[in-house]
Structure formats: C-alpha cells, structure tokens
Amino acid sequence: MRVEQTEAFTDLLTDVMAYYGKDVSTFMVDVWWGACANFEFEQISTALQRHATDPDRGQFAPKVADIVKVLAGTTTDRAALAWGKTLEAMTSVGAYTDVVFDDPAIHAVIEDLGGWPKVCRTDLKELSFLQHRFQESHRAYTGRGQFEYQRRLAGDRSPDFEFTSRGIPLPRPALVGDQAKAISVLKNGNQAGKTLISTLPAHAMRLLANAQPVELRA
C-alpha cells in the first residue's frame, strides 16, 4: 500500500471491526498496517471480505495473522515458491549476469549462501542440501519482516568500482519475477548487502529503463 492510502485503510479496518462489534485503536491500526503494508489495498479488502463470508472463520473478528496468511500463504509455501524461482533463474540467467529478484528475502538468502555465482555453480549432488538451506533461511527472513539485503546480486564479473571509476555504466541486471517489484527491490536494497547502506545511483536507475525481465517457465 501507499502512504496516502493510510486513511482509506483505517476506514476499511474500522468498518470491518464494527461489523463484529469491536472498536479500533491506534495500536491496532499500526499493527495491521505494519503487517499488510507490502500488499495492495484491493488485495486486503478482498481478503477481509473472504474472511467475513467464510462459513467457519467468518463468525469471529479477523486477526491480522488470518489475513496475512490468506494474502501471502504460509512461510513454507513462500519459501518453496522462492526456491523454484531461484532454481529456474540459475539456469536461465546464469552466474555471469547480475540479477534482481522481486523478493528481497531471496537476495538476503543468496548473500548468506556465498553469492549468486557460487549458488549458480552448485554441484547437482549438493542441490538438495542447498534447497534445504535456502528454504530454511528464507523462512527465517520472511518471519523477521525487516532485514538488509543487496539491491542487486552481482554476477561473476569485475567489481562495481572498476565500472564506476572508468565512467562505464554497470551491466544490465536481469529482472526476475514481477518487474515492478524487482525494481523496488533494487531501489530499496543496499549497495553491499548487510555491510554498507547507500542510495541507488542515478545511472543505475537509468540502466533499468533497458533492463530485460526474465520469463520463467510456468
């Protein structure tokens, strides 16, 4: 959701809770907003309507965990989907190309696993173990909610400073998944993952105008 939708979100939550005869406090609004801010307003409205019309759960006022579970699925579901997306990109993008996923938790996990090139070059016999580590770590980051991550996962190429020192634009990253969300990950991440926070340079955003999204097989 966008900040300017705060009032509409508060009104929606107030109306829903009034339906169940309950009041809405500032604390409640803050908790709901923090949990639902990464989703679209329309998605949240639909999820609340689904809850209200559910023959079993709809008899009781929704808790934020109920709605988040509907919107995002369980952390196990999300981790499995994230692994599938990453595994496909390991083949379709490869170790030599910078990549930006539409899920910041994937970036944090891959940094912990040694970086994009190392993950791409995992031996087949180690793939099952990698999957286990990936999904365990992804669940942990998703459960944490807030964490630092690299804004782009660098391929096996020259370091960024060799490009910037010569005035050469960084190579185009492959955008994996939802393109708008991938660009948001790129804008909001750190230059060097968990060790250095910096703003996204203007030339990197100009580069995105020509970035090609990656089509993953269904």
| 137-168 pLDDT, tens digit each | 998 888 777 789 999 999 998 676 677 778 88
> Which uninterrupted H or E stretch holds 213?
strand 213-214
- In the block, residue with structure tokens 């009781």: 60
Element (H, E) at 63: none
User: Does residue 134 contact residue 86 with C-beta atoms inside 8 Å?
Assistant: yes
Spatial distance between the Cα atoms of 35 and 38, rounded to a whole number of angstroms? 8
Q: What is the mean pLDDT of residues 197-204?
A: 46
Which whole number is the average pLDDT over 40-53?
89
> Of the given ranges (43-52, 69-78, 85-94, 179-188), which has the lowest mean pLDDT?
69-78
Predicted local distance difference test score (pLDDT) of residue 210: 54
Q: What is d(CA 17, CA 184) in angstroms, rounded to the nearest whole number?
A: 32
Q: Tell me, what's the pLDDT at 217?
A: 57
Q: What is the pLDDT of residue 216?
A: 62
Residue % of the chain over a pLDDT of 70: 86
